[in-house]
Each structure stands twice: as structure tokens, then as C-alpha cells.
Structure 1
Amino acid sequence: MRHAEADLAQVLNTGPFHLALRAALAVRGLPLQRVQHHLAHRGIKVGVTSLSYWQQGARRPQRPESLRAVRALEEVLCLPGNSLVRLLGTGEGEACRAETRPPGRSADRSGAVERLVAGLGPPADSGLHTVGHHERVRIGARGQLLGRDSQQVVRAHRDGVDRYLAVHHGDPGCDPASVEVSAFENCRAGRVRRDRASGVVAVELLFDTRLRPGETYVFGYGFEDGTGGRSTEYIRAFGSAGGQYMVQVRFEEGAPLPVRCRRLSWGATGTQRGPHTELALSGRHRTVHLVEQGVRPGTLGIGWDWE
């Protein structure tokens, strides 16, 4: 039983939603008919078939009344508040199409992102949940964003997923035509779309296999930029909840070191999430990093001040 509780705590942190729901039902030992009965006592009508689909990953609760039922499920199954709801986020496509998007420039770029992604077809990566994402960012001698490398671990929650859509936002002055895309681990680059006006590049990363529900996959990719102006932050947007995220920024030899670095975080509505706390910069290794154990919808990253 102790192992089952530990597994439940883990999947509540990493998702996806259907596996977390299934684990909670198993730990509590409640058949779906009893769950339906408890929900009915709270004035919420949900069919046993719907509950079964939710735990299988065949359907996801999205309508307001369904989300109300999920919140009630947290009570019925004695789970922490918001633990299941946060795994639903604002849409799986956005969760797995995480992108660098500084809040101050998001309004004029969001349209470009949607156009480019639409040009790549339906977001097939909507069948993925990000379990972990490690990212390394390099800043050059002029203070410009030289490039970034990502390694991701994802888990499929539906059958047949075989690609991921990655998006890169250059800093002001970026030339998207000169940005190089690399697929260096367990994937290959498919179609690439670029928008010169906004400095946005979108790429389709193709997996070597089609994933089955519950299967995990590790892949790596990167963007070589170096075409924009002086950078003062690196921020990534998350459309829904995910697992661990780590980002490390390295200021290359010959690059100036910032006088201070800080953690930046905003909620999904754009409101600041907590204080923007200072981060330690390693002068010897010329790096600064942050680690987020359970990503929430919104934006997260590192900002720095030059002299």
C-alpha cells in the first residue's frame, strides 16, 4: 500500500491526468459506481461511462460541468485541492508546444505562432505530457542569444503520437531565416516554418516510432540563433501543467557577466506569480540556473541585468 501511495504522489506530480485518476481510484479502492454515487450526493451527474473514458485517456474533461466534477473527484478521492485539475491545464496542445515567449512581447507574437503551427497541420503533439524538460541556453560576447539545446521526456496519453512541435522566439532583430534547427537525439526535423516580422520559428520534430498510451520517449533538439540584439531574459511559456523543468543560462567566454540574475514567473493570466527572487550566478562557470519541480500553466524563466 505504501508503494501505491508513493506511485500516486508521483503521477499526481507528473501526470498525465488519466493515469493520475486511475492511480487514485486504485489506491482508494472505489469502483466507478461508488464514485458516481458520491458525486451525485454533491449534485454532480457524471455517467460511469464518462468516468471510465477519463481514466482510460479516451476522453478528457473539458466543459465547465466536467471540470466541476473533477474538483469534486479530488474531494471524493481525498486528493490535494487542484491536484487533478492542474493536470488538465488549458489544453494539451499548448502544454507540449511549450515555447519561449517573453510576456511583454507575447501579444504581437501569439498570432504568428498560431499561423505557423496551423501551417504544420493539427497539433499531433496534443497526445503528449511533458514529464521532464532540461534546457541549456548560451549567451554570446555581444550579450545575444547564441542558441539553446533541449532534452525532453514525454509520455503519450493516446495511441499513435509520433511528433512534437517546437517553437523558438528570437530576440528583437532576430533573422528567422538564419536560425538553424537541430534534431540530435531520437528525432528528426520535418517541416519548418518561419515568420520574419515576429522572429518566430516553428519546427516539426518526428519521432522514430509511434507511441502507445503510457509509453515514454526521450528526444533532444536545438536552435542556433545569434542573430538578435542584446538579450536580458530567457522565458518559456507553458500552456498546461507538466513535470520538472530545468533551465541553465551560460554566458560564453568573452561575454560580459550580468550584475544580477533573478527568477521570473507569471501565471496563465499574465499576473506575477510570487516575488522575482534573485538567483546565484556562478562566476567561475559563468552560469545561472533554476529548477521547477512541477510546472504550472504560465511563464517561467530567468532575467538578468547588465551593468
Structure 2
Amino acid sequence: MLHATQHADLPGGELDSALRGGPFHVALRAAIAARGLPLQRVQHHLSRHGVKVGVTSLSYWQQGARRPQRPESLRAVRALEEILQLPDESLIRLLAEPDRHPGSGRRSARSYRSLVEASAVLGRLRAELGRPADGGLHTLGHHECVRIGARRELAAREAHHIVRAHRDGVDGFLVVHQGDPGCAPRDMRVRALENCRTGRVRFDQETGVLVAELLFGTRLRAGDTFLFRYAVEDGTAETAREYLRGFDAPGGQYALQVRFDAAALPVRCHRFTQHSPAAPRGGRHELPVTAPHHCVHVVEPRIRPGIVGIAWDWQR
């Protein structure tokens, strides 16, 4: 017999709309109302799932006064999806989208859905090029510089990689770039700068994902180290508000610098981290824009699986 998850009825489409667009506290409040459960009953159901959350915390969550962030709180959110008969990840993904700061002019960050769709497209493009997800290289160092242009657009980025092969026969690297919404990947250009040349290029217009082969001109043996450098010229989208880098495996040092055109300086910048695209953002730390270079940076001494990024707000 097939078993399907039942979902709560949607009063007037309010819950459906809240789950699609958020924010988290509105969706949670609508879901609790749809089930007709007082917070004390919600707390009781959570305790039966082995999760302890106070009624006060639940009240704060649905009012937007606080957001679940700790691991135990995230366990509670996943349990709430089951208790309230909601689709998997429907609440947790909303936590991946930071609250809008009043007066910041900031739109929401990349949505969980867009990141998942880009991941699926990346898998397809890798397959077209015959490049597996494990490229056979371990990162010893990855230094990246992003340039934001006078139109507030992501104009270009340059990357310098120091890698070690963990198997014989590795002959290249797959560049992955996702432009901002509205970008034109067919107009982007990948330039090989040092110890490599550009091979085949593939892209997906809908998600803005571009992949390109970098060919080393030699085959590495297991244990060999290699240095290479490349750039991606973009400049095809409108206003950029963040840059992030995801890592699937642990590695060495990662440094990210964002440099702004003197004619387009943000009002504030901050770094952030995420354990996964579905997880809430944490590790927030304000970054002052240095003069006269107009740049900010973060350095991670050791790469861990997850996401590291820098976001910024523009004057409206």
C-alpha cells in the first residue's frame, strides 16, 4: 500500500502563499492556525518527538521576534513540519532567507529553491562534459576576488587555486559560476590566466549557471600539487547584493575579497555562513569597507562543508 503525507488544509490560500513566499514567522503562524492547535498542544506534540521548546519560544517564533537558529531549534522546526502536516523542508527553507532589514533596500537572498535548481542543473552540465562531481582534487588554498562595478553589478571575479591530486590522471578543473538574477550566461567569458587553458563551456539560461573546463596540459599523479588561476567576466545582470561560495568537502584556506567601484559603495557589509542551502544563515559579522581600496574580505583558515559569503546593502 502506498502511503502519502497528508497536508493541512489551506484556509483561503493563506497558508499556501505563506509557505511559498514566507517569511518564516508568517508561514509558521498560518500553519498553526490551519491546524487549530494552541501553542500548549504544539509544545506537547514536540515533546513526543523528543524536542523541548517552551511556549514562549514558539510564540516569539510565530511573531517574528526571534528565529530558530540553534541545532535543537532546527530539530524542532523539522518536527513542526510533520506535526503541522506540511511538506518536507517547507519551513526550514524559509529560515535560509534572512529577514529584510528596514531601510536597507535589500531584497531576499538567493532562495533555497533557486540553489536546489542550480544544483540539479550543475549535475546535468557536468554529465554533458563527462566530469564527475569529485574532480580528483583536494583544495589546499582558494583565493577569490570579486569585483562589483559602477552599476552595482557583479562585473567579474578572479580565482587562484592551489590543489593536490588524490588520484592519478587528473587533467583539469571545472569552473562553476552562477550569475545574479537576470544574467545572460551566453555573454559571460571564462579566461584562463595561469597554468591552464579554457576547454568546453556549457550554460543554462534559466538558472544562470555556467560551467567551463580548465585544462592543465598535463596529467597529475596522486599526491601532485598544482597551481592555476582563472577569471570569469560577467557584468550581465543588474544589482548584486551578495556573493557566496559553497564547499562539499573540507580543505585548506579560503579567502574571499569583494572590491567595489568607487562610484558604487555599499552602506554596510557583513559576512555569513550556512551549513547547507536549507539551513539558516549564521556567523554574521559586520565588515567595514576599507579606504582607499573600497573592499572587504573574509578568510577561512580551514574550509568546512557548507557556504561562506559576503552580503551588502545599497543606499536606496
- TM-score of the superposition, structure 1-length normalised? 0.64
- Is 1:142 aligned with 2:151? yes
SS at match of 1:277: strand
Gaps of 5+ in 1: 1-100
1:302 equivalent in structure 2: 310
1:154 equivalent in structure 2: 163
CA distance in 1, matches of 2:267, 2:174: 35
2:195 equivalent in structure 1: 186
More deviation, 101-110/204-213: 101-110
2:242 equivalent in structure 1: 233
Provide closer, same or farther for how the CA distance between residues 269 and 149 of structure 1 changes in structure 2, counting only shifts above 3 A.
closer
Offset from partner CA, 1:6-36 (integer Å, 9 cap, x none): xxxxxxxxxxxxxxxxxxxxxxxxxxxxxxx
RMSD of the alignment, in Å?
1.7
Q: Give the greater-gyration-radius structure (CA).
A: 2
More deviation, 267-276/224-233: 267-276
- Quick one: which of 227, 244, 249 aligns to 2:253? 244
CA distance in 2, matches of 1:126, 1:109: 19
Offset from partner CA, 1:183-242 (integer Å, 9 cap, x none): 110001111001111111100111121111111000011110100010000001111111
Q: CA deviation at 1:102?
A: 4.6
CA distance in 2, matches of 1:290, 1:222: 19
- TM-score of the superposition, structure 2-length normalised? 0.62
CA distance in 1, matches of 2:237, 2:110: 14
Gaps of 5+ in 2: 1-108
2:299 equivalent in structure 1: 291
- Is 1:257 aligned with 2:257? no
1:276 equivalent in structure 2: 284
2:205 equivalent in structure 1: 196
Q: Which runs of 4+ in 1 moved over 6 A?
A: none
Conserved 8 A contact 1:149-1:222:
yes
- Is 1:206 aligned with 2:215? yes
CA distance in 2, matches of 1:103, 1:276: 18
Offset from partner CA, 1:92-135 (integer Å, 9 cap, x none): xxxxxxxxx95643022122111111111032852110100001
CA distance in 1, matches of 2:201, 2:283: 37
Q: CA deviation at 1:246?
A: 0.4
SS at match of 2:201: strand
SS at match of 1:126: coil
1:1-307 matched pairs, under 5 angstroms: 102=110, 104=112, 105-123=114-132, 126-254=135-263, 256-268=264-276, 270-272=278-280, 274-307=282-315
Provide closer, same or farther for how the CA distance between residues 284 and 122 of structure 1 changes in structure 2, counting only shifts above 3 A.
closer
SS at match of 1:275: strand
Conserved 8 A contact 1:123-1:165:
no
SS at match of 2:228: strand
CA distance in 1, matches of 2:119, 2:142: 22
Provide closer, same or farther for how the CA distance between residues 269 and 112 of structure 1 changes in structure 2, counting only shifts above 3 A.
closer
Q: CA deviation at 1:268?
A: 3.0
1:92 equivalent in structure 2: none
Conserved 8 A contact 1:151-1:221:
yes
CA distance in 2, matches of 1:240, 1:162: 20
SS at match of 2:293: coil
